[in-house]
């Protein structure tokens, strides 16, 4: 046999060897758990298209949050699901101090204090009767600047309620700068912004819309990014960094690992990526049918997001993964 002085397989020869030379680590602190809390629910309500994920009642939210923090999860991202009758054309419940999201933020901040990073979705889509992420003009299009005013009001309400990080996800031009200016002017300079820097108009959001009870008519392609485009993510990144983003995020994660990599190579702040509902549901459905190894697929998929450059991964498996990684 011809001598082979170079044998890469030597570094794959055992589990201990593979662990020794692994380039990418996955730890509970890297994970953020997205959570849905629904107004008027007395018990958790299963989300059919996301088996294992629920719309929480206030009580079940607090219990699940405590469990996640005990497992070492790095943070919690909160989404509010208002009652249908509370929705209107400007999303009034979003900045109502007694709205479901702000009540939940207060409850979790009181329970958990500084033991976790409490994040809030700063967007109107759950709260508007038309389901869009902003205020509509007379022609039915999302009015960017009128929406910024609503985001500012929502951001201040969330800051008052105890959020550590605000997550403006609507992809409005200038959203980070408008929120940063308002926070600083109102004494909330310590509240950070997790910018949804590159959020694409993805087909994989479908299950999420069930999760938040979306009433969307039409689509969001006039404000979310075109999946065909790569370079504009860098333009969005430059704007968000200049406007004061503390963390930047790519959403979705798995179908946009090239964008995660691009952003991570340039950004001088931490990079997050969101393993979204459709990605969760596809793995879950394939595993339920016995087509893939569920546990291995979960670890592989989240590790891939970390390998691409994300220092923070939002995933619905955060608590489960954290327990397995301890």
Mean residue pLDDT of the chain comes to: 95
Over residues 267-312, the pLDDT tens digits come to 999 999 999 999 999 999 999 999 999 999 999 999 999 999 999 9
Where along the chain do its domains lie?
A: 26-325
Encoding tokens for residue 131?
Answer: 């389901």
> How far apart, in whole angstroms, are the C-alpha atoms of residue 61 and residue 83?
17
| Residue 34, H or E segment | strand 31-38
**Residue 185, pLDDT above cutoff 90:** yes
Q: Quick one: DSSP state of residue 226?
A: P
Pick from 1-15, 91-105, 169-183: least confident: 1-15
Instruction: Write out the DSSP string of 50-109.
Output: STT-EEEPHHHHHHHHHHHHHTT--EEEEEEE--GGG-BTT-GGGS-TTSHHHHHHHHHH
Encoding tokens for residue 6?
Answer: 């170079």
**Residue 13, pLDDT above cutoff 80:** yes
pTM, rounded to two decimals: 0.95
**Residue 223, pLDDT above cutoff 90:** no
Cα 134 from chain centroid (whole Å): 18
The pLDDT of 20-45, averaged and rounded, is: 96
Residue from 208, 247, 250 nearest 225 by CA: 250
Over residues 65-106, the pLDDT tens digits come to 999 999 999 999 999 999 999 999 999 999 999 999 999 999
What are 136's strand-pairing partners? 142
The pLDDT of 215-222, averaged and rounded, is: 76
**Residue 215, pLDDT above cutoff 80:** no
> How far apart, in whole angstroms, are the C-alpha atoms of residue 254 and residue 239?
24
Q: Which of 94, 251, 262, 271 is catalytic?
A: 251
- Where do the H-state alpha helices sit in the chain? 15-21, 58-70, 100-112, 144-161, 175-185, 206-211, 231-243, 257-266, 277-288, 294-308, 318-325
Pick from 83-92, 242-251, 254-263: least confident: 83-92
The two beta strands, 117-122 and 165-168, are parallel
Contact 207, 280 (CB under 8 A): yes
Quote the Cα angle for 90-96-98, to 5°.
145
CB atoms within 10 A of CB 247: 21
Q: How confident is the model at residue 325 (pLDDT cuts 50, 70, 90)?
A: very high
Rg (CA), the chain: 20
> How far apart, in whole angstroms, are the C-alpha atoms of residue 217 and residue 285?
27
Q: What dihedral do alpha carbons 44, 47, 52, 53 form, nearest 10°?
A: -70
The better pLDDT of the pair 218, 10 is held by 10
Contact 120, 105 (CB under 8 A): yes
Q: Which of 87, 199, 220, 306 is catalytic?
A: 199
Residue from 88, 250, 77 nearest 158 by CA: 77
Q: How confident is the model at residue 213 (pLDDT cuts 50, 70, 90)?
A: confident
For residue 251, indicate whether it is catalytic: yes
Q: How confident is the model at residue 2 (pLDDT cuts 50, 70, 90)?
A: confident
26-325: which CATH number, 3.50.50.60, 3.20.20.70, 3.40.190.10, 3.40.309.10? 3.20.20.70
**Residue 119, pLDDT above cutoff 90:** yes
Identify the pLDDT of residue 202.
Answer: 93
Over residues 127-154, the pLDDT tens digits come to 999 888 899 999 989 999 999 999 999 9
Structure-token match 């994920």, residue found: 53
Share of the chain above pLDDT 90, in %: 90
């Amino acid at each position: 046999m011809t001598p082979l002085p170079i044998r890469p397989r030597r570094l794959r020869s055992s589990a201990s060897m593979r662990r020794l030379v692994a380039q990418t680590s996955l730890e509970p602190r890297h994970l953020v758990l997205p959570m849905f809390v629904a107004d008027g629910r007395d018990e958790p309500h299963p989300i059919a298209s996301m088996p294992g994920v629920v719309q929480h009642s206030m009580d079940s939210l607090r219990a699940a949050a405590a469990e996640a923090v005990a497992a070492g999860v790095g943070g919690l991202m909160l989404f509010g699901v208002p009652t249908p009758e509370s929705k209107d054309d400007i999303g009034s419940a979003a900045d109502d101090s007694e709205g479901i999201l702000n009540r939940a933020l207060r409850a979790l901040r009181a329970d958990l204090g500084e033991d976790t990073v409490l994040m809030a979705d700063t967007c109107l889509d759950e709260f508007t009767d038309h389901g869009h992420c902003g205020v509509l003009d007379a022609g039915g299009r999302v009015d960017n600047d009128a929406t910024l005013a609503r985001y500012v009001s929502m951001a201040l309400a969330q800051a008052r309620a105890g959020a550590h990080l605000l997550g403006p996800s609507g992809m409005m031009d200038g959203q980070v700068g408008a929120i940063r200016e308002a926070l600083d002017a109102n004494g909330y300079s310590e509240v950070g912004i997790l910018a949804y820097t590159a959020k694409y108009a993805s087909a994989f959001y479908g299950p999420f819309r069930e999760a938040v009870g979306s009433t969307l008519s039409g689509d969001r392609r006039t404000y979310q990014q075109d999946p065909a485009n790569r370079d504009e993510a860098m333009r969005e990144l430059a704007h968000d960094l200049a406007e004061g983003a503390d963390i930047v995020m790519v959403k979705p994660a798995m179908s946009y690992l090239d964008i995660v990599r691009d952003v991570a190579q340039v950004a001088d702040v931490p990079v997050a990526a969101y393993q979204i509902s459709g990605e969760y549901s596809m793995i879950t459905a394939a595993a339920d049918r016995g087509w893939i190894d569920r546990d291995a697929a979960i670890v592989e998929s989240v590790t891939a997001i970390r390998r691409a450059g994300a220092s923070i991964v939002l995933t619905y498996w955060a608590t489960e993964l954290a327990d397995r990684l301890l």
